[in-house]
A and B are shown apart, each in its own frame.
Chain A
Amino acid sequence: MKFKFIEEKVAKVLMIASAIAVFAFVVNIIYTILRRGLPALNWDMISKIPAGGYYNGGGGGILNAIVGSLYIVLGSTILGLLISIPVVFYLNVYLSKDSRLAYTARLAFDVLFGIPSIVYGAFAFTIMIYLGMHTSLGGGILVITLLIIPILIRSMDEVARQLPKDLLDATYALGATKLETIQVVLRQIAPGIATATLLSVGRAIGDAAGVMFTAGFTDSIPTSLSQPAATLPLSVFFQLSSPNADVQDRAYSAALILIFIVLVISVTGRLITNHFSKNKI
Chain B
Amino acid sequence: MFTITVASILLVVFIGLGLYLKSVPIFEHTSFWHLITSSEWKPGSGEFGFLPFIAGTLWITAIAVLLSLPVALLSALFLTEYSKTYVKKWVFTALDILAGIPSVVYGVWGTLFIVPWISEKLAPHFVEYSTGYTVLAGGIVLGVMILPLLISLFVEIFSAVPQEYRDAALSLGATKWQTSKYVVLRKTFPGILAAIILAVSRAFGETIAVLMVCGNIPLIPHSLFDSCYPLPALIANNYGEMLSVPMYESALMLAAFLLFIVVFIFNASSRAVIYQIERRYK
Among B47-55, B122-130, B265-273, which stretch is in contact with chain A? B265-273
Residues of A within 8 A of B235 (CB): 118, 121-122
Secondary structure at the B interface, as helix, strand, loop or mixed, is helix
Alpha-carbon distance between A255 and B107 when the two chains are bound, in angstroms: 10
* Number of residues on chain B facing chain A (CB within 8 A): 79
Alpha-carbon distance between A25 and B108 when the two chains are bound, in angstroms: 14
For B9, give its contact among A86, A104, A123 (CB under 8 Å).
A104
In the assembled complex, B151 has its CB within 8 A of some CB on chain A = yes
Contact in complex: A14, B74 (CB < 8 Å): yes
Q: Give per-residue flags for B104-132: 1 if the beta carbon is below 8 A from chain A beta carbons, else 0.
A: 11111101110000000000000000000
Contact in complex: B201, A15 (CB < 8 Å): no
Given contacts A12-B82, A25-B144, A114-B263, contact A240 B212 (CB under 8 A): yes
For A120, give its contact among B15, B74, B97 (CB under 8 Å).
B15
Alpha-carbon distance between A213 and B232 when the two chains are bound, in angstroms: 13
In the assembled complex, B5 has its CB within 8 A of some CB on chain A = yes
Alpha-carbon distance between A103 and B174 when the two chains are bound, in angstroms: 39
Alpha-carbon distance between A208 and B235 when the two chains are bound, in angstroms: 13
Residues of B within 8 A of A166 (CB): none
Contact in complex: A116, B15 (CB < 8 Å): no
Instruction: For chain A, give the interface size range.
Output: 35 or more
In the assembled complex, B248 has its CB within 8 A of some CB on chain A = no
For A86, give its contact among B4, B144, B232 (CB under 8 Å).
B4
Q: With contacts A25-B98, A206-B100 known, what are 19 further pairs, Cβ within 8 A? A: A15-B77, A22-B98, A23-B90, A86-B1, A90-B1, A107-B268, A107-B275, A108-B11, A114-B201, A114-B205, A117-B205, A120-B15, A205-B102, A207-B102, A233-B208, A240-B107, A255-B105, A255-B108, A266-B96
Interface residues of A (CB under 8 A from B): 4-5, 7-8, 11-12, 14-19, 21-23, 25-26, 28-30, 32-33, 36, 83, 86-87, 89-91, 94, 101, 103-105, 107-123, 125-127, 146, 149, 153, 202, 205-209, 212-213, 233-234, 236-237, 240, 251-252, 255, 258-259, 262-263, 266
Interface residues of B (CB under 8 A from A): 1-2, 4-5, 8-9, 11-12, 14-15, 18-19, 22, 70-72, 74-75, 77-79, 82-83, 87, 90-91, 94-98, 100-109, 111-113, 144, 147, 151, 174-178, 180, 198, 201-202, 204-208, 212, 232, 235-236, 239, 252-253, 256, 259-260, 263-264, 266-268, 271-272, 275
